[in-house]
Structure formats: C-alpha cells, structure tokens
C-alpha cells in the first residue's frame, strides 16, 4: 500500500519492566539521540516554511477517556494506550511535511514550548532498560500512523459490523470499504476519520514518513511535568529542517 523503505530499521522493539521515565537519564540513555526534531512544535508556520517544511492543521481529535493510542490503525488498531494519560477533550493535530512525506505528527494539549522531552511508552516499558540505538515505538505495516482514544477502537468494531451487515457475503476490508474514501479526499495523505457518524470519537490518520518501519513518539512536558504536546517522529528530517534530506543509516 505504501513505500516500504525501512528508514527506522535500526530502532529495535524492546520488552521491558515497569515504567519509570525518570530513570532514563540516570541510566545514561540519551533522548537527544532518539530525535533531533523537537523544535518542530516550537516553530511558527512561517519559520517552518523557511526550513522547507509544510504544515497541515488536521483538526481536533476527540479523546473521550484521555488514553491515547499511537499506532498503525490498520495493522494494529488494538495496540494498548500509552502509559501517560491526558484530560479528556478535543486536541488539535498538526502534520509536518518534507520531501513529499509526512515527517512528523503532533497533538497539542496546551500552549507553550516544552521544557523537557520524555519517550512515550506503553505500560510496563522502562526507558532505563534501553541500550544505545534502541527505542520504544510502534511498528507500521500499512504505511499509516494515527492518534485516537482507546475507546474509539469499539467504534471501529461497530463500523465494521455495519459494513459487514451491508455485504454479508464478502469479507470486510476496513481500508477499502471505509477509510480509503476519507483519505482520497485529502490526496491519500491524511484523514480525520469518524468511525460512527453519530458518536463522539474520531481518528487522526496520516502517512507514516517513508512507509513501513518502526517509529517513536515523545511527550513534550512543561517544568511541572504537564504534557504540552505528543510528537511522532517518522525519521524524514533531521534538526527540524527540510532543506537537506538525511542520509540513510
């Protein structure tokens, strides 16, 4: 479905023990080596344009529980929610484009420039267990990433049942039967998808950089540890700059 260049093949999926973000710095794991693109969320649209990075303001994702799923919505829609939660609400999603790709995707919870960054993990994952060159993230096998509330998975299942009832003699393919038309409306780049029309809970779906791979997400926190933004880095640019394409590692 998408270009399967493995830009992030060097990033390993690691099993770990309890979640303890503070221990990461004590163990010497350097989050700065995991991404050099944190400035994306601090620059204005005009400043980003000067760096050859385009911006798409998708609209708001409705978080009904505040438990966020960052995943490939077709290959792993039932992925567990991230360990850190936010208050339920509606939060804007922004895409950053470079070299004809979606380089990163952010969800903003409050204004301000993050004071520090933390790797987004699932319950039971501990950044202190990571070795140099390793990272936690999510695998992509359908060329797409997403942000959605964990409760929205039930709505996706409900939509599948609705489609199946309309075509009982055929297998349901969620991409072909449901999602494709939403993506086509935006040149197949992104969609703010609502699984069930009359129910709250939608999904921000977007291209995942160069295609399939393994991609990390990061929390931008204020000095009090409050989440300001969630950023997924698709390894398309370095140093928040789209004027020079990074070399494959």
pLDDT digits (tens, 9 = 90+) for 146-178: 999 999 999 999 999 999 999 888 888 999 999
Region at 39 (left for phi over 0; alpha for psi -120 to 50; beta for the rest) = alpha
Q: How confident is the model at residue 213 (pLDDT cuts 50, 70, 90)?
A: very high
Q: Which of 142, 159, 139 is nearest to 202 (CA)?
A: 159
- 94-103, 187-196, 201-210, 240-249: lowest mean pLDDT where? 240-249
Contacts for 123 with CB less than 8 Å, ≥ 6 apart: 19, 80, 83
Spatial distance between the Cα atoms of 164 and 188, rounded to a whole number of angstroms: 24
Q: What percent of the chain has pLDDT over 70?
A: 88
Query: pTM for the full model?
Result: 0.87
Q: What is the pLDDT of residue 114?
A: 98
What is the torsional sign of CA 142, 148, 154, 155?
negative
pLDDT at 18 > cutoff 50: no
Enumerate residues 6+ apart whose C-beta is below 8 A from 177.
163, 167
Is there a contact between 228 and 109 (Cβ–Cβ < 8 Å)? Answer: yes
Token reading at 188: 């197949």
Report residue 244's pLDDT band, with 50, 70 and 90 as the boundaries. Answer: confident
Nearest to 53 by CA among 100, 8, 92: 100
For residues 168 and 140, which has the higher predicted lDDT (pLDDT)?
140
Give me the pLDDT at residue 171, please.
87
Q: What is the mean pLDDT of the segment spanning 19-44?
A: 72
Q: How far is CA 249 from the centre of its chain?
A: 22
Average pLDDT over residues 217-235: 97
pLDDT band at 5 (very low <50, low <70, confident <90, very high): very low
Residue 183 Cα distances to 25, 204, 210, 223, 236, angstroms: 40, 11, 17, 38, 21
The mean predicted confidence, pLDDT, of the chain is 88
């Amino acid at each position: 479905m998408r270009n399967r260049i493995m830009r992030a093949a060097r990033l390993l999926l690691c099993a770990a023990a309890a979640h303890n973000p503070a221990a990461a710095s004590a163990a010497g794991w350097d989050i700065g080596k995991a991404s050099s693109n944190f400035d994306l969320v601090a620059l204005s649209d005009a400043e980003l344009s000067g760096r050859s990075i385009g911006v798409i303001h998708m609209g708001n994702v409705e978080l009904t529980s505040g438990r966020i799923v960052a995943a490939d919505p077709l290959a792993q829609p039932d992925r567990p929610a991230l360990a850190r939660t936010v208050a339920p609400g509606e939060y804007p999603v922004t895409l950053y484009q470079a070299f004809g790709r979606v380089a990163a995707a952010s969800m903003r919870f409050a204004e301000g420039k993050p004071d520090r960054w933390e790797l987004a993990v699932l319950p039971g994952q501990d950044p202190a267990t990571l070795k140099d060159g390793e990272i936690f993230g999510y695998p992509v096998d359908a060329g797409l990433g997403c942000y959605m509330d964990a409760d929205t998975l039930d709505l996706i299942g409900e939509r599948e049942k609705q489609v199946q009832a309309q075509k009982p003699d055929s297998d349901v393919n969620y991409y072909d039967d449901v999602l494709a038309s939403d993506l086509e409306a935006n040149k197949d780049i992104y969609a703010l998808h609502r699984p069930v029309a009359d129910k709250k809970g939608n999904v921000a779906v977007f291209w995942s950089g160069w295609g399939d791979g393994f991609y990390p997400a990061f929390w931008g926190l204020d000095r009090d540890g409050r989440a300001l933004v969630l950023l997924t880095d698709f390894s398309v640019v370095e140093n928040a700059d789209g004027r020079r394409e990074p070399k494959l590692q």
